[in-house]
Chains A and B, each alone.
Chain A
Amino acid sequence: MPLADRDEELVQRGRNGDASARRTLVERHVDTVYRVAYRLTRTRSEAEDIAQDVLARMLDYREGWLSPISFRVWIRRAVLNRVIDASRSRQRWSIMRPLDDGLDVADGQPDAEAAAETNQQASAVANAVRALPARQKMVIVLCHYENLSLADAAAAMKTSVGAVEQLLQRAKAALRVELRALEP
Chain B
Amino acid sequence: MTTHTERESEITTAKPLNDALDLWRTPETPAWLATRARARMADATGDVIGFFRRPLFAISLAASLMLGSAVGWVAPLPPVMSSEEIEFTW
A residues with CB within 8 A of B: 14-15, 17, 22-23, 26-27, 30-31, 34-35, 38-39, 44, 48, 51-52, 55-60, 116-117, 119, 121-122, 125-126, 129, 140, 143-145, 149-151, 161, 165, 168-169, 172, 175-176, 179, 182-184
Contact = CB atoms under 8 A, between A and B. Distances in A.
A172 B14 contact: yes
A182 B16 CA distance: 9
A56 B34 CA distance: 10
A23 B38 CA distance: 7
30 contacts: A14-B45, A26-B38, A26-B41, A27-B34, A30-B29, A34-B29, A34-B30, A35-B29, A38-B26, A44-B27, A48-B33, A51-B33, A51-B37, A52-B36, A52-B40, A55-B34, A55-B40, A57-B41, A59-B45, A121-B20, A122-B25, A126-B24, A145-B21, A150-B4, A161-B4, A172-B14, A172-B17, A179-B20, A183-B20, A184-B19
B47 interface: yes
A44 B24 CA distance: 15
Given A35-B29, A56-B43, A121-B23, A183 B17 contact: yes
Interface in B27-54: 27, 29-30, 33-34, 36-38, 40-45, 47, 49
B73 to A, nearest CB: 41
A35 B28 CA distance: 9
Q: Mostly helix, strand, loop or mixed at chain A's interface? A: helix
Interface of B: 4, 7-8, 11-12, 14, 16-21, 23-27, 29-30, 33-34, 36-38, 40-45, 47, 49
Contacts of A59: 41, 44-45
A57 B44 contact: yes
A89 B23 CA distance: 31
B18 to A, nearest CB: 7
Contacts of A151: 4
Contact of A116 (B11, B19, B27, B37): B27
Contacts of B19: 183-184
Given A15-B45, A34-B33, A59-B44, A165 B24 contact: no
B26 A179 contact: no
A125 B37 contact: no
A121 to B, nearest CB: 5
